[in-house]
Structure 1
Amino acid sequence: MGRRSASPRPRPRRRRRRLSRGAKIALWMGGGFVGLLGALAVAVLIFALSLSSAISSNITTLSSSEAFPKEETRPAPSENGSRTILLLGSDARGAVSAVADQDPDNQRSDVMMVVRIDADRKNVEVMSVLRDSWIEIPGHGRAKANAAYSWGGAPLAVATVENLLGVRIDHVALIGFDGFADMTNALGGITVNNAVPFTRDGFDYVAGANRLNGAQALGFVRERYSFTDGDYQRARNQQEFLRAIATQAISANTLSNPERIFSFTTAVTKHLAVDESFTTQAMFELGVSLRDVRPANIHFFTLPTVGTGMEGDQSVVYLDEGALPAIRDALRTDTLDEYVAGH
């Protein structure tokens, strides 16, 4: 189905939150990017709060109209305390403040992950939605999932996921692909466990453990043509990348190195944009509530599909429509961890 034009959305002036160096480190330790994946022990958090220095930076903030669709079109907020975050990775280049200012028509969300934080704060589920998933995009009919961001920015991407899953997206986080490289370098590199060997840009990604720098990490999350199942393996690699980032971030080598913590936080804030309700205080409180979560409590999976096909001249991925009711019910009843364990 052809694209239908959408009415232009106002682009309110974007605000940036200024943080001291100590606050930046505290934010990272208590929430921020790690708050999306799990958090650290209280003792480490207190240590971070003791660090201070007058170096400021920016966190890009998206206004409500830049992040979410109209309220009357959305599911009701959760009543059980669970939180759902939509993580979008844009293929545009540069700092996220510049990426967010670019016309979404020139971008695709090559990473679309739904991060679900259980009400009891014991588990975090990260669900990948394949970019070529053939789904209903409100106001446009069926199209590839990654077209939603191109056609309507974060609000249409949120509306698409809410329509698909029947769950309210509480927060939005947008990251430019350059951020993957910068975060990796700030941590001194990461180690990923590669399931399918391939070569990209002259680098051999061997089967098993691979130590990657920033450029190599970016190649790892972007490659799909080397795989017989294309986006399926790319989604698994993106999940493995996040797992590796989380593991390296809470390693002894990072926690014992304040400069590395600060460098990583700088890389995160440079490349991360969040909705205005995801304040630094909200991130901090979420991170503290996740203090007992460890990498083993973070479960990655991909929205079930039944294979690929063609829609016109487009190669697409068809969702397993029969699996969607169980996923929607698991989200509604806060039992997504049980669904993942059983599937």
Structure 2
Amino acid sequence: MNTQQMRNDWGAQRPAYGHRPAPRRRGRRVLVLVLLALVLFPLVFGGWLWFRVDSSINRIGAFPDYSGRPAAGSGANWLIVGSDSREGLDPDTAESLHVGEADGGRTDTIMIAHVPDNDTPPTLISIPRDSEVPVPGQGRTKINAAFAIGGPELLAQTVEQATGLRIDHYAEVGFGGFAGMVDAVGGVEMCLDQEMHDTKTGQTLQAGCQTLDGEKALTFVRMRYSDATPRSDLDRVANQRKFIGALVEQASSFSTLINPFRTYSLADEGASSLTMLEPDGTGDLLSLAWAMRGISSDGVVTTTVPVTDSSANRWDKEKASELFEAVGSDQPIRQDLITE
């Protein structure tokens, strides 16, 4: 083989000038790593957040059994309480939220959320806090007193005996936690038909569509001394259900779920201010939120316990009994039993 032929053969085997296979392989590896990160990050973040929430929730023991306690019915019943406890609020924060001062804890909000086992729509029922019902050991008095005297346990027993529904789960949040969750999702949009001015606190919300931050949201759900709330507590509980629906919708929106900072802030604010039963966990809470997500779109039946007049002190016994019987058996609720 002559010298020229050897040179030609060597040249044929030599890679063409500028050909670099290594960078191409490196590029594919980078792409694979990016794809893995996109898949694994939500899983890792979600798992960590799940643990964070579950370990941050305040717990109380399971509700004790007692003689005559209602048997478990169809579906699951949540007792949801918004307390007016100022615990954890520094003086400046309490002043900014316009919550005043009060010792101990009372209930600003009492609701029963029913999650059915069948395809009947979920139900959210407001119980006016001035409802006069038998409170064990206290005679007949306002239901709000049950929480003030005996906390969640006595309130749950009072609700069970008054409604005939067994309470399976419990969720309680205070003033600061509620405002914090609203701020965590960037505020909640509400449309007000007219100006709302509270003659007791002096707070005012303008008419029209607007985004309420935590402070204004707390004003909205607590207001009952206003020309815009002529039915007092009945209008207030209706506004509470309306706002909860908008809050759940905002919290479960795509813009919130894809934002890890907002998701973390919401979970952190909610968990640290939430009180639940010892056996309940994050999965139970998500199940409730998922069931209640249809409030704004009429996918959830929302109502107040039927009462005899606008004072909301006395229940309409016949209608209330029919309402709770339908709820406890996962039956559709008649329209005449629904009170806005």
Whether these two folds match at TM > 0.5 is yes
Check conservation: 1:131, 1:144, Cα contact below 8 A: yes
Check conservation: 1:137, 1:143, Cα contact below 8 A: yes
Matched, 1:332 2:334: no
Compute the displacement of 1:317 (Å): 1.7
Q: Which residue of 1 aligns with 2:236?
A: 234
The alignment partner of 1:77 has SS state of coil
1:306 is matched with which residue: 298, 305, 308? 308
> Residue by residue, what CA displacement relative to the aligned partner does 1:156-188 show, whole Å, maximum 9, x if unpaired?
111111111101000111111212210110001
Compute the displacement of 1:205 (Å): 2.0
2:188 is matched with which residue: 190, 194, 203? 190
1:326 maps to amino acid: E
CA RMSD of aligned residues (A): 2.9
Q: Which residue of 2 aligns with 1:176?
A: 174
Q: Which residue of 1 aligns with 2:246?
A: 244
Q: Which residue of 1 aligns with 2:86?
A: 93
Check conservation: 2:111, 2:126, Cα contact below 8 A: yes
Matched, 1:70 2:72: no
Check conservation: 2:80, 2:111, Cα contact below 8 A: yes
Check conservation: 1:95, 1:271, Cα contact below 8 A: no
2:300 maps to amino acid: I
Q: Are residues 341 and 188 of structure 1, via their aligned partners in 2, closer, same or farther at CA, if it must alter by over 3 Å?
A: farther
1:83 is matched with which residue: 63, 76, 80? 76
> Residue by residue, what CA displacement relative to the aligned partner does 1:250-279 show, whole Å, maximum 9, x if unpaired?
223212212111111111101111001212
Check conservation: 1:187, 1:264, Cα contact below 8 A: yes
2:276 maps to amino acid: V
Check conservation: 2:246, 2:296, Cα contact below 8 A: no
Matches within 5 A, 1:1-343: 48-51=42-45, 56=52, 58-64=56-62, 68-78=63-73, 80=74, 82-95=75-88, 106-120=104-118, 123-200=121-198, 204-226=204-226, 227-283=229-285, 286=287, 290=291, 295-296=296-297, 297-307=299-309, 317-335=313-331, 337-339=332-334, 343=338
Q: How many equivalent pairs are there?
A: 278
The alignment partner of 2:191 has SS state of strand
Q: Are residues 106 and 340 of structure 1, via their aligned partners in 2, closer, same or farther at CA, if it must alter by over 3 Å?
A: farther
Any gaps of 5 or more consecutive residues in structure 2?
1-39, 90-101
> Residue by residue, what CA displacement relative to the aligned partner does 1:63-97 show, whole Å, maximum 9, x if unpaired?
12xxx24343411122x4x000000111011359x
Could you say which structure has the greater relative contact order, defined with CA pairs below 8 angstroms and 6 or more residues apart? 1
> Residue by residue, what CA displacement relative to the aligned partner does 1:106-161 show, whole Å, maximum 9, x if unpaired?
22111000001111265221100001111111221111111110111111111111
> Residue by residue, what CA displacement relative to the aligned partner does 1:195-235 show, whole Å, maximum 9, x if unpaired?
55312566542344231111001111111111322111111
Which has a greater percent of strand?
1
TM-score by length of 1: 0.72
Identity of aligned residues (%): 31
Compute the displacement of 1:321 (Å): 1.4
1:114 maps to amino acid: I
Q: Are residues 302 and 54 of structure 1, via their aligned partners in 2, closer, same or farther at CA, if it must alter by over 3 Å?
A: closer
Take 1:50 and 1:121, find their aligned partners in 2: how far apart are those partners? Answer: 33
Check conservation: 1:95, 1:270, Cα contact below 8 A: no
Take 1:188 and 1:289, find their aligned partners in 2: how far apart are those partners? Answer: 20
Structure of greater Rg: 2
1:222 maps to amino acid: R
Take 1:161 and 1:301, find their aligned partners in 2: how far apart are those partners? Answer: 16
Check conservation: 1:196, 1:207, Cα contact below 8 A: yes
Take 2:138 and 2:266, find their aligned partners in 1: how far apart are those partners? Answer: 39
Compute the displacement of 1:241 (Å): 1.4
Check conservation: 2:196, 2:206, Cα contact below 8 A: yes
The alignment partner of 1:236 has SS state of helix
Check conservation: 1:86, 1:169, Cα contact below 8 A: yes
Check conservation: 1:83, 1:117, Cα contact below 8 A: yes
Q: Are residues 114 and 253 of structure 1, via their aligned partners in 2, closer, same or farther at CA, if it must alter by over 3 Å?
A: same
